[in-house]
């Protein structure tokens, strides 16, 4: 399948790599199909969650466990029922990165990670109930405070 | 929107299995109890809206993928530092 993306031009996507988000993600509920791009490139911690339904749409994502070594995901089983997670070992956890004009102010959303069940390629963005991790975690300062 | 008046200790049923109770009222603050099936997700509206807002901001990427790929996170104890590399 070919995809004409905004950031990467025309790319070839293998159907087997398609990720299905039954509920979309908050704010983009109609966007259900994604593909991960650039994950193999080990020298960069950032890669892309590219929408298939809406080729203009892509999120920069990263591994939250790389950003914060003490990171954890705490959600109810019911929250992940939709993507049929049976074994946490098969879950790929991603955090969405927000990159403003001033790149130093880039943040990672640690409160609402994206979970992908690698067994069935289903995904969901979950929202943690507790406030241990912020929606805007500034990579530069390692906390909720923006860099000066 | 349906508007109902309730007193402390009273509740409202939504369908057969969702109950909203008024636990306490202190001035401008109301404590609300919610009984709902576990598959019904209950969030404070502002939390859900905050995630939507953040996702919308994150979706506007005007930065060249090559530049993003060039960003290195330098780990230094518990703190991270980053450096944009052209």
Among A43, A125, A139, whose Cβ lies nearest the Cβ of B82? Answer: A139
Among A78, A98, A104, whose Cβ lies nearest the Cβ of B57? Answer: A98
Interface ipTM: 0.91
CATH number assigned to the domain comprising residue A125: 2.30.290.10
Closest CA to A47 of A31, A59, A29: A59
Asked whether residue A55 is assigned to any structural domain, the reply reads: yes
B-chain residues within 8 Å CB-CB of A106?
A: 71, 82
A-chain residues within 8 Å CB-CB of B34?
A: none
- Chain A nearest C-alpha distance from B46 (Å): 12
SS3 B66: helix
Show the domain range for A66.
2-138
Q: How far apart are CA A38 and CA A53, in angstroms?
A: 19
Confidence of residue A24 (pLDDT cuts 50, 70, 90): very high
Asked whether residue A147 is assigned to any structural domain, the reply reads: no
pTM for the whole structure:
0.82
Asked whether residue A97 is assigned to any structural domain, the reply reads: yes
Residue with tokens 């008046």: B5
Element (H, E) at B68: helix B65-70
Confidence of residue B75 (pLDDT cuts 50, 70, 90): low
Asked whether residue A144 is assigned to any structural domain, the reply reads: no
Nearest C-alpha in A relative to B70: A44
Q: What are the pLDDT digits (tens) for B26-60? A: 999 999 999 998 778 787 889 999 999 999 999 97
State how many domains chain A has: 1
Confidence of residue B81 (pLDDT cuts 50, 70, 90): very low
Alpha-helical runs (H) found in B3-83: 45-59, 65-70
Asked whether residue A143 is assigned to any structural domain, the reply reads: no
Asked whether residue A85 is assigned to any structural domain, the reply reads: yes
B-chain residues within 8 Å CB-CB of A103?
A: 63, 67, 71, 84
Asked whether residue A6 is assigned to any structural domain, the reply reads: yes
């Amino acid at each position: 399948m070919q995809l004409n993306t905004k950031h990467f031009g025309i790319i070839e996507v293998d159907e087997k790599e398609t990720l299905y988000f039954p509920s979309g993600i908050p704010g983009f509920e109609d966007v259900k199909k994604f593909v991960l791009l650039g994950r193999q490139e080990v020298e960069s911690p950032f890669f892309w969650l590219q929408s298939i339904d809406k080729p203009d749409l892509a999120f920069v994502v990263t591994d939250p466990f790389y950003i914060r070594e003490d990171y954890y995901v705490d959600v109810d089983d019911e929250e992940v029922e939709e993507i049929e997670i049976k074994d946490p070992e098969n879950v790929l956890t991603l955090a969405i990165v927000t990159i403003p004009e001033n790149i130093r102010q880039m943040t990672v959303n640690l409160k609402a990670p994206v979970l992908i069940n690698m067994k069935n390629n289903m995904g969901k963005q979950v929202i943690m109930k507790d406030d241990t991790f912020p929606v805007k975690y500034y990579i530069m300062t390692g906390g909720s405070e923006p860099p000066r | 929107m349906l508007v109902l008046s309730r007193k402390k200790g009273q509740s409202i049923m939504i369908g057969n299995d969702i109950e909203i109770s008024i636990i306490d009222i202190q001035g401008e603050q109301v404590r609300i109890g919610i009984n709902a099936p576990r598959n019904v997700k209950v969030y404070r509206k502002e939390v859900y809206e905050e995630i939507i807002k953040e996702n919308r901001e994150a979706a506007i990427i005007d930065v060249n993928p090559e530049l993003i790929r060039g960003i290195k996170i330098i780990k230094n104890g518990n703190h991270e530092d980053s450096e944009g590399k052209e």
